[in-house]
């Protein structure tokens, strides 16, 4: 009787293990790329984010650049600040610094409520000297107080980026200012 009971328990254990293996095989595999995939909205034209470098890598690239140097790149980061009037510029942290991004020929803008969203930018990275009046203008656009604006008294070397296209992490109700279409001459 003991032998029958032992055999019964052994068969029961094998059957239950086999069912567990079958259930595990039925579960679909999920890889890291699928977990990190983000839906984007395109601005300034369609582009791929496949070969974008990280914001940290972009910071390293800026560190090796001199004023006037340029680099054609595609970078992925997070919007830290955005023009509150039109969305005509954004700031994106790159390493220990921040890059100031404008859009080529003001042909497109990003959502004014896009702060904190992931962004992929394609375009030209460069360092330049930004004059005081321009720094004050950007401070006004960012909604800074008059006291903060008046405190700007010196030009500064700025990390800049002119984007030809951008992708912003998709979200509900993006507040995008549409630039006016260029005036076209009509033939009479």
Domain CATH code at residue 70 = 2.40.50
pLDDT at 45 over 70: yes
Q: Can you give the length of the chain in residues?
A: 188
The predicted structure's pLDDT at residue 38: 78
DSSP labels, 125-144:
EEEEEEPHHHHHHHHHHTT-
Q: Average of pLDDT values for 165-171?
A: 96
pLDDT, tens only, 58-101: 999 999 999 999 999 999 999 999 999 999 999 999 999 999 99
DSSP string, 45-84: S----TTPEEHHHHHHHHHT--TT-EEEEEEEEE--EE-T
Asked whether residue 180 is assigned to any structural domain, the reply reads no
Verify that 18 and 111 share a domain, yes or no: no
Inside any domain, residue 120: yes
Spatial distance between the Cα atoms of 122 and 114, rounded to a whole number of angstroms: 17
Residues 53 and 120 in one domain: yes
* Gyration radius of the chain over CA positions: 27
Q: Look at residue 30 and tell me whether its pLDDT is greater than 50.
A: no
Q: Is residue 70 part of a domain?
A: yes
Range with the poorest average pLDDT among 17-31, 55-69, 71-85, 103-117: 17-31
**Is 57 in the same domain as 22?**
no
Q: Which helix (H) or strand (E) holds 9?
A: helix 2-26
23 and 47 in a single domain? The answer is no
Q: Is residue 107 part of a domain?
A: yes
- Number of domains composing the chain: 2
pTM: 0.72
Domain membership of residue 23 (yes or no) is yes
- The DSSP code for 85 is T
Domain extent at residue 63: 39-169
Q: How far is CA 32 from the centre of its chain?
A: 19
Q: Same domain for 86 and 146?
A: yes
The answer as to whether 182 is a domain residue is no
Which whole number is the average pLDDT over 138-146? 91
Residues 11 and 63 grouped into a single domain: no
Token pair for 184: 């076209």
- Is 67 in contact with 127 (CB distance < 8 Å)? yes
19 and 46 assigned to the same domain: no
Q: Which of 84, 86, 8, 53 is nearest to 161 (CA)?
A: 53
Residue 111 lies in a domain: yes
> Poorest-confidence range of 32-36, 52-56, 77-81, 110-114?
32-36
């Amino acid at each position: 009787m003991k032998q029958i009971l032992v055999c019964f328990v052994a068969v029961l254990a094998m059957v239950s293990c086999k069912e567990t293996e079958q259930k595990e095989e039925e579960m679909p595999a999920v890889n890291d790329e699928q977990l990190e995939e983000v839906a984007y909205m395109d601005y300034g034209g369609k582009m791929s984010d496949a070969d974008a470098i990280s914001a940290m890598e972009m910071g390293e690239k800026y560190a090796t650049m001199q004023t006037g140097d340029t680099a054609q790149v595609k970078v992925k980061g997070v919007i830290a600040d955005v023009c509150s009037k039109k969305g005509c510029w954004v700031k994106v942290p790159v390493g220990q610094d921040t890059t100031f991004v404008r859009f080529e020929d003001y042909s497109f803008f990003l959502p004014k409520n896009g702060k904190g969203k992931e962004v992929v930018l394609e375009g030209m990275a460069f360092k330049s000297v930004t004059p005081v009046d321009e720094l004050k203008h950007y401070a006004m656009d960012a909604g800074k107080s008059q006291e903060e604006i008046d405190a700007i008294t010196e030009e500064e070397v700025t990390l800049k980026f002119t984007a030809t296209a951008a992708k912003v992490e998709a979200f509900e109700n993006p507040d995008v200012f549409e630039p006016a279409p260029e005036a076209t001459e009509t033939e009479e």
